[in-house]
Amino acid sequence: MELNRDIWRITKWAFVPLLILLVPLIATLVTYEVQWDVADLAFAGAILTTAGVIYAASTPKGKTSTFRFVNGLVIIIVVVLIWIEFAVGIFP
């Protein structure tokens, strides 16, 4: 039974980022100011989904809230650095 809960947690953290991607998808369809193509959406989906799955898999329910917060903060920092690198190239 515990395995089913863990799979549900990982699945939830995998699909929430995909729902977030509906915002740029709709913005791309509605306005010309946002110009994302399929590759942009796929890259963002892969990065956000991977981050969500890593967070769910690396933070078991029994851990303290401080551990979960620091773990989430590290994952967010890594995702932002990857995103900036692919957007503008900050690393030589």
Quote the number of domains for the chain.
Answer: 1
Contact call for residues 54 and 75 (beta carbons, < 8 A): yes
Mean pLDDT of 56-80: 87
Mean pLDDT of 63-79: 91
Report the predicted TM-score, pTM, of the whole model to 2 decimal places.
0.77
**In this structure, what DSSP letter does residue 32 have?**
S
Structural domain span for residue 50: 2-88
The per-residue pLDDT for range 19-35, each reduced to its tens digit, is 888 999 999 999 988 88
What is the maximum span of the chain, computed from C-alpha positions, in angstroms?
A: 48
Extract the tokens encoding 8.
């549900």
Alpha-carbon separation of residue 10 from 13, 17, 65 (angstroms): 5, 12, 18
